Amino acid sequence: SRPILDMSYSRHFLDFQGSSIPSSMKKLVVTKLSQNFREAVTLQQDSPVPLPGDGDLLVRNRFVGINASDINYSAGRYDTSVKPPFDIGFEGVGEVVALGLSASADYTVGQAVAYVKAGSFAEYTIVPAKQAVPLPSVKPEFLTLMVSGATAYLSLKELGDLSEGKKVLVTAAAGGTGQFAVQLAKKAKCHVIGTCSSDEKGGFLKSIGCDRTINYKTENVESVLRKDYPKGVDVVYESVGGKMFDLALNALAIKGCLIVIGFIAGYQNPTGLQPIKAELLPAKLLKKSASVRGFFLNHYLSDYKMALQHLLKMYERGDLVCEVDFGDMSPEGKFTGLESVFRAVDYMYMGKNIGKIVVELPHSVSSKL
């Protein structure tokens, strides 16, 4: 029989190792709307540790994921009705340190879980038990699947219509979500082309199966595509926007499909968009019977658990590389502690990361977890 720990009414409690859960914690809060993350976000040192309600888990975060869209969130672009201050950070992995009575039917203290929910840039986060994903252990690799992996899997499954021999172009291919688009397209026996910004990234892409890498710093993407793929590419997994969107659109084959999963080139702009040659879009699409489809993970949440279970099984079988970038190669070293989230966001926008950027939150000394 599992001991039930009903924390919904408690003000002072201990976790399962007998180490104290503090009454206050650090967290990041958006205090001003701005596409400049450092301007928008404040590190609060002494926020109260929240108490779980009946159906909730209190998760002590061990690893939190950095997403390009963190900047969209801090700029207030997702929900214009929400006004500062509000919590930030989309995903975390950690242990359950306390839980409500109903939640204890499915979870136990000490259990490793992952979640996608606003407010992960904090030492502790309340997660409704229904939204948590139980994990075999606390590993940063699991975090790569929560938003990045699920986005690649669901967008390609729902919109990509992948089949053997199709040519798939992945932009920002060595990034957090690009790495999965490359691997999933290869699993579907497609020919995969990946754009990246360094030879080191190109090497990584080859190691995960990319057939042709294009380093856009040293090669002209447009001429490579025209020369090597004169009939065009069948599917584009596009996350850059601006000029890269235009190039990708022009490179579409007859009946090709361009899937927009982001436009990172525009996120730091006040308007959020870099201009594209959209006035020619109807003519270009008509000429090729081509399509442009947008994909936003929140609209596919009914399939989310299925996607995640599939990806977790692939990873556990060794069929999926989940590359994590802790910023070891960044000027000030590894991203550790909430203070380093600011550096991690900068690092992403400088295009330095290979794989998913993850920040580690170390335990305080008093904890035995």
For 311-330, write each residue's pLDDT tens digit.
999 999 999 999 999 999 99
- Same-domain pairing of 94 and 234: no
pLDDT > 80? residue 1: no
Q: How far apart are CA 276 and CA 243, in angstroms?
A: 7
CA 81, 86, 92, 94 torsion-angle sign = negative
| Better-scored residue on pLDDT, 14 or 274 | 274
Q: What's the whole-model pTM score?
A: 0.93
- Same-domain pairing of 99 and 168: no
Q: How far apart are CA 240 and CA 279, in angstroms?
A: 19
pLDDT > 60? residue 266: yes
**Mean pLDDT, range 296-321, rounded to an integer:** 96
pLDDT > 60? residue 226: yes
- Same-domain pairing of 158 and 289: yes
Residue 118 lies in a domain: yes
Q: What's phi and psi for 135, nearest 5 deg? A: -125, 155
Q: Which CATH number covers residue 36? A: 3.90.180.10
Give the pLDDT score at 5: 53
What residues contact residue 261 under an 8 Å CB cut-off, 6+ apart? 151, 152, 155, 177, 237, 238, 239, 295
- Same-domain pairing of 251 and 154: yes
In 3D space, the residue among 54, 119, 117 whose CA is nearest the CA of residue 301 turns out to be 117
- Same-domain pairing of 115 and 192: no
**Mean pLDDT, range 120-135, rounded to an integer:** 96
Cα distances from 86 to residues 33, 43, 44, 119, 279, in angstroms, run 10, 12, 12, 8, 38
- Same-domain pairing of 48 and 174: no
**What is the span of the domain harbouring residue 254?**
146-299
Give the pLDDT score at 54: 84
- Same-domain pairing of 234 and 284: yes
**Mean pLDDT, range 71-93, rounded to an integer:** 94
Domain boundary pick from 284, 299, 314:
299
Residue 277 lies in a domain: yes
Residue 1 lies in a domain: no
Residue 195 lies in a domain: yes
Give the pLDDT score at 10: 47
Give the pLDDT score at 40: 98
Task: Check: CB of residue 365 under 8 Å from CB of residue 19.
Answer: no
Domain count, the chain: 2
What value does the mean pLDDT of the chain take?
Answer: 92
What residues contact residue 259 under an 8 Å CB cut-off, 6+ apart? 155, 156, 159, 160, 235, 236, 237, 238, 293, 294, 295
Q: How far apart are CA 26 and CA 12, in angstroms?
A: 18
pLDDT > 50? residue 273: yes
Residue 211 lies in a domain: yes
**Mean pLDDT, range 124-144, rounded to an integer:** 96
pLDDT > 50? residue 366: no
Residue 316 lies in a domain: no
What residues contact residue 160 under an 8 Å CB cut-off, 6+ apart? 168, 185, 235, 237, 257, 259
Count CA within 13 A, CB hemisphere, residue 177.
Answer: 28
- Same-domain pairing of 221 and 257: yes
- Same-domain pairing of 121 and 177: no
In 3D space, the residue among 141, 132, 139, 148 whose CA is nearest the CA of residue 66 turns out to be 148
Residue 315 lies in a domain: no
Helices (DSSP H) in 256-363: which residue ranges? 281-288, 304-317, 341-349
pLDDT > 60? residue 39: yes
Q: How far apart are CA 48 and CA 25, in angstroms?
A: 6
**Mean pLDDT, range 25-29, rounded to an integer:** 97
**Mean pLDDT, range 104-109, rounded to an integer:** 90
- Same-domain pairing of 82 and 131: yes
Give the pLDDT score at 20: 65
- Same-domain pairing of 126 and 212: no
Residue 347 lies in a domain: yes
**Mean pLDDT, range 321-342, rounded to an integer:** 97
pLDDT > 50? residue 11: no
Q: Which CATH number covers residue 261? A: 3.40.50.720
Percent of the chain with pLDDT over 70: 93
- In the structure, what pLDDT confidence band is assigned to residue 2 with cuts at 50, 70 and 90? very low
Query: Which tokens hold the place of 181?
Result: 């688009």
Give the pLDDT score at 200: 98
**Mean pLDDT, range 275-286, rounded to an integer:** 92
**Mean pLDDT, range 87-109, rounded to an integer:** 92
- Same-domain pairing of 168 and 106: no
Helices (DSSP H) in the chain: which residue ranges? 37-40, 70-74, 140-144, 150-155, 178-187, 199-207, 221-228, 242-250, 281-288, 304-317, 341-349
Q: How far apart are the first and last CA of the chain?
A: 22
SS3 333: coil
Give the pLDDT score at 9: 43
Give the pLDDT score at 14: 41
- In the structure, what pLDDT confidence band is assigned to residue 61 with cuts at 50, 70 and 90? very high
Q: How far apart are CA 19 and CA 13, in angstroms?
A: 9
Helices (DSSP H) in 251-293: which residue ranges? 281-288
